[in-house]
Amino acid sequence: MAKRARPVVPETTVRDFPPIHALPTGWTPLDENRDQSYVRRIKPRSDNQRLLLESLDGFHLTVALGPAGTGKTYLAIAKAVEALEDGRVGRIVLTRPAVEAGESLGFLPGDMQEKLAPYLRPLYDALTERLGGKRLRSLLADGSIEIAPVAYMRGRTLNNAFVVIDEAQNCTYGQIKMLLTRLGWHSTMVLTGDPDQSDLLPGMSGLAEIAQRLGALPDVSVVQLGEKDIVRHPLVASMLTVL
């Protein structure tokens, strides 16, 4: 029985078929400029926020003053996480005063951590957004991140740490002085707050005076943010102009 002849198929090359997805010229899988949703970057939204980020990179002590919603705490925590992830510091220490905002909560049930949780919740929220819940729990468990009220800072020396002192307008002059003197070797400290929103009795907050005095030192950066730097709902900026 005779073999059937195979049909002749013309030879083709890869170039005869257009690529399904045309890649841009110069593309490389290692290109760091491409958009990646899993890489979280922070970018300033105003000139004062850019100045704050530059100060956090260039000074060991920065004082960030401004109204609510200007990103003071968020930018400070974002830079702290960045420094920890890059290995430039060994731990993050976050602290804020346990002061109630104009009302008394009375007795809170639970152990010490449960009692302090409502006061420190904003710091946990910012960290969770930057790290994710699982990663944050791991860093809290091994001591790489510590969140504590101001009352527990006395007597400590914070070496190789990124220290964020939040809501400093609710600290007295003596408390802020105590906190500032905790700064140790190879550490960065950020003091954030709004002198116009203190929950202490009139005249007790020491933030404005501390900022004025530190502003005269060349090695300390004092950054003043305003209504134009607010990144919350536009009504926040409008309300602050009349309230």
Residue 38: count other Cβ atoms within 10 Å of its Cβ: 4
Comparing CA positions, the residue from 42, 57, 51 lying closest to residue 225 is: 51
Whole-angstrom Cα distance, residue 33 to residue 36? 9
pLDDT at 58: 94
pLDDT at 20: 46
Q: What is the pTM of this model?
A: 0.77
**What is the chain's mean pLDDT, rounded?**
82
Q: How confident is the model at residue 29 (pLDDT cuts 50, 70, 90)?
A: very low
For the chain, the three-class secondary structure string (H helix, E strand, C coil) is CCCCCCCCCCCCCHHHCCCCCCCCCCCCCCCCCCCCCCCCCCCCCCHHHHHHHHHHHHCCEEEEECCCCCCHHHHHHHHHHHHHHCCCCCEEEEEECCCCCCCCCCCCCCCHHHHHHHHHHHHHHHHHHHHCHHHHHHHHHCCCEEEEEHHHCCCCCECCEEEEECCHHHCEHHHHHHHHCCECCCCEEEEEECCCCCCCCCCCECHHHHHHHHCCCCCEEEEECCHHHCCCCHHHHHHHCCC
Contact 160, 187 (CB under 8 A): yes
Contact 204, 169 (CB under 8 A): no
Sign of CA pseudo-dihedral 172, 155, 139, 98? negative
Q: How confident is the model at residue 37 (pLDDT cuts 50, 70, 90)?
A: very low
Identity of residue 77? I
Has residue 41 got a pLDDT over 80? no
Range name among 17-21, 48-52, 74-78 with the lowest pLDDT average:
17-21
Identity of residue 187? S
**Residue partners of 84: CB distance under 8 A and separation at least 6:** 90, 91, 92, 139, 144, 145, 162
pLDDT at 231: 82
Contact 164, 80 (CB under 8 A): yes
Both structure tokens of 91: 């731990």
Per-residue pLDDT of 97-134, as tens digits, reads 877 555 555 566 666 567 667 778 888 888 998 998 89
Per-residue pLDDT of 14-24, as tens digits, reads 455 445 455 45
Q: How confident is the model at residue 36 (pLDDT cuts 50, 70, 90)?
A: very low
Per-residue pLDDT of 154-173, as tens digits, reads 899 999 999 999 999 999 99
Q: How confident is the model at residue 80 (pLDDT cuts 50, 70, 90)?
A: very high
- CA angle, 59 as apex, 33 and 128 as ends, to 5°? 55
Please state, in angstroms and as integers, the Cα–Cα distance from residue 81 to each residue in 62, 75, 159, following that order: 16, 10, 16
